[in-house]
Amino acid sequence: MGTSRGVLVTLALAGLCACAAVPRIVELATTGDHRALRGRPAGARPSSPDKPPILYLALDGVGRDTLYALLREGKMPGLAKLLGGDHGTFPHAHFAERMLSTLPSSTMAAWVTTMSGKPPSEHGVTGNEYFVREGRLFACPAPVSFSSVAPTIAIYTESYLDNLSSVPTVYERMREKDPDLLVWVVMHEIYRGADKLLLARKTVLASAFASAVEKAVEKHLADKESMRVYKELDEGAIETVIADLRKKEVMPDVLTVYLSGTDLYAHVAEEGPDQARRTYLEKIVDPLYGRLAAALEEREALAGRWVVVGADHGHTGVMHDDTHALSKENEDSRALLSRAGFRVRPFKEKVLKDDPFSAVRAYGGAMAYVYLADRSGCAVDKDVCDWKKPPRYEEDVLAVAEAFHHNDQHGDVVARMQGALDMILVRRPRPYAEVDLPFEVYLGGGKTMAVDAWLKENPHPTYVAVGARLRDLAADVHGERAGDLLLLAHNGDRDAPDGRYYFAGLYHSWHGSPSKGDSELPFIVASSEHASASIGAWVERVLGDRPFQQKTTDVLLGLREGALPRRIPGNRSSSTP
């Protein structure tokens, strides 16, 4: 184990040496696996125990069917214990059946949405990577079009993702009403407003993310070996929180515990995402939940605590080959954009200030974004484009839409991309500070059609709530960050991996599409003091007719504010007559 692990850590640090993050990481390594995020004003109470406490379990890449089946089959006794269930029955838990991810169904957009209650077009984080016109900035909390672990590490060392979001987090919103609130966040990417961030050991963190990068550059690890790396990451997270619980510190009012290994493993496992996730959840995640349950019980901190389980997105198996990965190596989209007369920004985090690019691409599995400059203002080779200005609709946006549409039909510029696209979405651009128009489907010849109308004419039975979720992504003040064109690959609409394309390096599974497989999320709300039916009635009312993942914030705020009246511990029930 020493050798491969050593190699991975070295690779991670080598990748990091080019950036300023290194000193911060060293600092973290020596100060331990915690970041104190805020001080308490003198005289403030150490916590706010009068309101119901919450444990929020956040899982990455776990679809609804997979998790619910494992629980009902009795294969996750550790999680069942946290939910007050036994042998596949859950008298104190509501299993919601309607929760959907935001679009794209991808980690960074999804978690910011979940933990803020606002959609991407409002909070501004539209994907794992995306372009910010007004800052001429390529934001990449989880790079897809190129390989680098530095930005992902910066999420933990420098609040990189928190700083990209322009709205308050659920913790900040709770604190408005409840200034003494004590919040611990374990490994989650979003933690603004919490008191303490708890992390797996830095070396473990670096090696896990480096391993994900390794896979992207195709130095294969066997399934067993990659599972071991991700297991160390999740184990490290749980061990950190258990150690703190045992230190007899004041119990947090809200404890968020995030495990990302299931997603990381599903992306790369040769056994395919469904089997990979079942195996990983049963063998790795569940025993860790069992240990967490025991540690909470030792502190008598489980009874009476709301336990909420959620996830960010599902998974869809893809072919691990050059035909289906529309990757950076192949540069398919560059050829099309160049042919259409644009200077294409290279796939990297930073370019020179005077780089004269006039087109930007951001990748994200089933979806890719294309951003265009108004090239009339930077027509000559070395002209730097003014990205604060929107592009022109006919001369820039529709010209590029036609290039992609034509190639999709005929394959005459990039043969490999013929027939790869399900939808090319465009809208008339607005200045970046204004509310953006919703996307429409480009039909060729300069014509477009509303998304819902197009889907009526071209049924996609595996897609769900496409129009509403695309508006959440693109039709508000930060909507331009979802691109002037959104390319949706054939992926979640296809039954078998050999018909699916994805914008990324080589993987065995990806996500991002509006399909049920990528979008249907588990959402469980449990408390030993309440019955399933009464929890369910309230949760379903909150989800309403837009059961999208931003409602998680409403549920967490509601629980904390006592929307379901707390019974007195010891079964002297106040709500039974």
Residues near Zn ion (CB under 5 A): 263
| 180: exposed, middle or buried (Cβ count in 10 Å: 0-12, 13-18, 19+) | middle
Three-class SS state of 257: strand
For the chain, what is the largest distance between any 2 Cα atoms, rounded to a whole number of angstroms?
79
Nearer to Zn ion, 77 or 314 (CB): 314
**Shortest CB 263 distance to Zn ion, Å:** 4
Which is closer to Zn ion, CB of 78 or CB of 492? Answer: 492
* Residue in the shown chain whose Cβ atom is closest to Zn ion: 263
Residue 410: Cβ-neighbour burial (10 angstroms; 0-12, 13-18, 19+): exposed
What are the φ/ψ torsions at residue 265 (nearest 5 degrees)?
-70, -40
Q: Tell me whether residue 314 or residue 547 sits nearer to Zn ion (CB atom).
A: 314
Strand, coil or helix: 356:
coil
Q: Which is nearer to Zn ion, 235 or 263 (CB)?
A: 263
Cα 106 to Cα 71, 313, 498, 517, 533: the distances in Å are 24, 6, 22, 12, 31
* Amino acid at position 470, single letter: L
> Smaller CB distance to Zn ion: residue 213 or 485?
213
The least distance separating Zn ion from the CB of residue 212, rounded to whole angstroms, comes to 9
Q: Whole-angstrom Cα distance, residue 500 to residue 366?
A: 9
Query: Of 237, 269, 275, 198, whose CA–CA distance to 28 is shortest?
Result: 198
Least distance from Zn ion to the Cβ atom of residue 513, Å? 12
Select 105 or 203, whichever has its Cβ closest to Zn ion.
105
Nearer to Zn ion, 95 or 265 (CB): 265
Closer residue to Zn ion in complex, CB, 311/559: 311
Q: How buried is 271 (Cβ within 10 angstroms: 0-12 exposed, 13-18 middle, 19+ buried)?
A: middle
Enumerate residues 6+ apart whose C-beta is below 8 A from 56: 254, 255, 256, 257, 308, 310, 556
- Closest approach, Cβ 189 to Zn ion, in A, equals 12
CB 116 within 8 A of CB 151: no
Minimum CB separation from Zn ion for residue 236, in Å? 19
Closest contact distance (angstroms) between CB of 217 and Zn ion is 17
- Of 405, 350, 356, which is closest to residue 131 (Cα–Cα)? 350
Cβ 269 to Zn ion shortest distance, Å: 12
User: Which residues in 55-77 are b (16+ Cβ under 10 Å) and which e?
Assistant: bbbbbbbbbbebbeebbbeebbb
Closest approach of Zn ion to the CB of residue 24, in Å: 25
* Strands 183-186 and 254-259, sheet pairing: parallel
Name the minimum Å distance from CB 363 to Zn ion.
13
Q: Based on CB atoms, which residue is closest to Zn ion, 263 or 484? A: 263
Minimum CB separation from Zn ion for residue 326, in Å?
Answer: 17
C-alpha to C-alpha distance for 174 and 181, rounded to whole angstroms: 8
Q: Are 490 and 500 in contact (CB under 8 A)?
A: yes
Q: CB-wise, 104 or 390, nearer to Zn ion?
A: 104
